[in-house]
Amino acid sequence: MQMFDADKLYPRETELDDGRVMRVYQSEVGDVGCVVWDAAIVLAKFYEHLSGVSHEGSTFDDPAAAAAVQCLCQLRQWVSACNEGKLSVLELGAGTGYVGLVAAAMGARVTVTDLSEFIDLMRHNIDSNVEVIQQKQGVCHVLELVWGVSLPTLTLPTLTSNCPKPSLILLADCIYYEESLEPLVKTMVSASSQDTLIICCHEHRTTDNKPHLQKQFFEEVSKHFRVTRIPTILQHPVYSSDDIHIHIFRLHDQPPS
């Protein structure tokens, strides 16, 4: 039994940089995860951008941009390996599954995850884009995941014995509810190895308690991860915005035992 009303779905078509078209269905009813937010578009296009552009050799006067270039060179290697099916990708809080679907369309082995109420919608969107995904031998699986709760049983269909944890984790606009911040960070830590890179994209919001949530999230993340901000100049040349931020997280080095 589907957990969404097909009559309440409406499509959003987006064009990949190579001209292929993806058709993702959103729902008129449901929680915030039922639609494709701008941060998801920016993150998906950033992933595409990494798939085809190298910043190696680029120089910037801004020290932050220079550090970001170094981080991006490694990230691009990860994305390239993911697109060749050598490494796995995990999307947290996927909602419609859009970001993970784009990664799969580039050839990656992806697991998109969210709460039970979004599972059928994500499956529907995978089915709607099978041909686009298969053109580059990508794979996209769906998994129910409750942040901070179902960690002991976390097994991803796209993992292998050689890569027991995802190499790349995608996170778009998940800084929204205060009660979910701590479980989200716990899940990020649990799902990461020392080699895992996390790409986090969020829209900077100034209403209600959102500034506080964003500050709280990054304070918690910084306890466990090194954080690198990606300046707009290094993002997709068209699909980027000053109020949508991209950061790369990587676990702090473990002290020698």
pLDDT band at 61 (very low <50, low <70, confident <90, very high): low
Q: Rounded mean pLDDT of 164-183?
A: 90
pLDDT of residue 152: 47
Inter-CA distances, 253 with 191, 194, 196, 207, 257, Å: 16, 7, 12, 36, 12
pLDDT of residue 148: 87
**Which pLDDT tens digit goes with each residue over 110-155?**
999 999 999 999 999 999 999 999 999 999 999 999 998 755 455 6
**Which pLDDT tens digit goes with each residue over 42-57?**
999 999 999 876 555 5
pTM flag (> 0.75): yes
Q: Which domains does the chain have, with CATH numbers?
A: 6-251 (3.40.50.150)
d(CA 82, CA 89): 7
pLDDT band at 173 (very low <50, low <70, confident <90, very high): very high
DSSP state of 112: E
Is the pLDDT confidence value at 257 over 50? no
Inter-CA distances, 151 with 143, 189, 190, Å: 12, 10, 7
Q: Rounded mean pLDDT of 178-207?
A: 93
